Structure 1
Amino acid sequence: MSVNTQQIVTIKGTRDGLTLRLNDQCSYQAILKELEEKLSVSGGEEAEEPMIRVTIQLGNRFLTVDQQEQLREIVREKQKLVVERIESNVITKAHALEWKENTDVTPLVRTVRSGQVVEVKGDLLLIGDVNPGGKVTATGNIFILGHLRGVAHAGINGDTEAVIAASYMKPNQLRIADHLSRAPEDNEEGVYIECGCIDETENKIRVVPLQEVVKRKPDLVSFERRMLNG
């Protein structure tokens, strides 16, 4: 008779706290039983000891929200332990579709006129102009092959790493996540092939040459690949 010698729960200390690796080949009930047993074996904790952060790694296992909460409760029963995150290699179909939607590139060929609003999930590639009074928004980046004279809001769900690029930039307003930039003065000239991004040092939106953004945001290469793969 073969015996599975692989541990059900492996506890490893790291500089960030504890990592609990759960065997993804055994039953969920077996995990609960061993987790309770292993966490119950300890000495007493001193009141002044800091909280220890715990990461639970599920491997190739999917757990429902209720099952994840059950794991959190078992860990919480142990003083000075708190679950910081639960990681899994498996996601639901709904989460996969949401991820795909938020990483897709939406190409549009049109002029966004005053009073019109264009909203997309993921990145927006607009071949055309955004006129004064027009607005474009995206959960990801915004790339405009044309004149940006209206409002552009990238990273609308809080992505502070999103960028806004335009062939000619003289916007009414630039927004990235919850950051807002002022409109240029009427007598200010617009700029060509520039990009707006959040300057983490100054915590505000800056308009910089496109080449600088490519250096600071190398993941834009994935945008190129998605466009080539269509």
Structure 2
Amino acid sequence: MAMEPVKIQGTKEGLVIVLEEELDIEALKERIVDRIEKSLSFFEGATLNVRVKNPKFKEEEIEELRDYIMKKYGVKIFIKKFQEKHIKNVTDDEIFNGLEEGITKFHKGTVRSGQVVRYHGNLVIIGDVNPGGLIQAAGNIVVMGTLRGIAHAGFTGNKEAFIVASSLKAMQLRIANIISRAPDKEEEVEYPEIAVVKKNKIIVRPLYHLGDLW
């Protein structure tokens, strides 16, 4: 069954149109206009979020389209790109930049020794990462448990990525191409910690004392 090229969803952001195709600006305009005109009363006075696949539009093109839709239909639109939810066809040289927002995978359960969890986006582990377990993300990594294995954030080269764990006891931390072992602690800590890159080195700090990190 062919994938519907235009889908409409109701979300907390309001009305969302999802376009599953890669389109040029004229084709994008045609799809949006067609969808609005099919349900004018439905869209009247709405704020419309349009998610498109890998757009390469110029800002002036986007502004012209926004103005056109607003003047003709009274609909305010925001256009945002989205990435594939599944990454089986994504290669390592494709850069993910969505560190503050973007696609996120939630892995439920313990990552055991020998297991690899890899995602081309942000990665949240709801559980522990045992010694010998490997977690990799093109974006940030958050472990809602104890991180004892290896964590590699920003694997496409993004040094702005970070690693957070409720209990950080990692065998090894990596951010982009920078590698560090978690520091030995004289006593157990009972608070979450965050690892970031500063001056080309990975540093680990308590999560609740971030003033010197950002």
- TM-score normalised per structure 2: 0.52
SS of the residue corresponding to residue 106 of structure 1 reads strand
Identify, as 1 or 2, the structure richer in helix: 1
> Could you tell me which residue of structure 2 aligns to residue 132 of structure 1?
131
What runs of 5+ residues in structure 2 fail to find an aligned partner? 1-24, 26-57, 63-78, 87-95, 97-101
TM-score scaled to structure 1, two decimals? 0.49
1:98 paired with 2:83, answer yes
1:117 shift after superposition? 0.3
Residue matched to 1:209? 206
Q: 1:216 to 1:100 in 2, by over 3 A?
A: farther
Q: State the superposition RMSD in angstroms.
A: 3.0
Is this contact kept in 1: 2:83–2:103, CA < 8 A? no
Evaluate the alpha carbon distance shift between residue 58 and residue 142 of structure 1 in structure 2; reply closer, same or farther with a 3 A threshold: closer
CA distance in 2, matches of 1:215, 1:139: 24
Q: Please give the secondary structure, in 2, of the residue aligned with 1:60.
A: helix
Shift, 1:188, TM fit = 4.9
Larger radius of gyration: 1
Alpha-carbon distance between aligned partners in 2 of 1:97 and 1:121, rounded to the nearest angstrom = 13
Query: Which amino acid is the alignment partner of residue 159 of structure 1?
Result: N
Q: Who is 1:51 aligned against?
A: none
* Residue equivalent to 2:151: 152
Is this contact kept in 2: 1:141–1:154, CA < 8 A?
yes
Secondary structure of 1:211's aligned partner: coil
For structure 1, the 5+ residue unaligned runs are 1-23, 25-56, 62-89, 218-230
Whether contact under 8 Å (1:129, 1:146) holds in the other structure is: yes
CA distance in 1, matches of 2:114, 2:183: 20
Q: Could you tell me the percent identity over the aligned residues?
A: 46
Pairing 1:39-118 to 2, within 5 Å after superposition:
59-60=60-61, 96-98=81-83, 102=96, 103-118=102-117
Aligned partner of 1:139: which letter?
A
Q: Aligned letter for 1:131? A: N
Q: Is the 8 A contact 1:143 1:166 kept in 2?
A: yes
Distance verdict in 2 for CA 1:141–1:58, change over 3 Å: closer
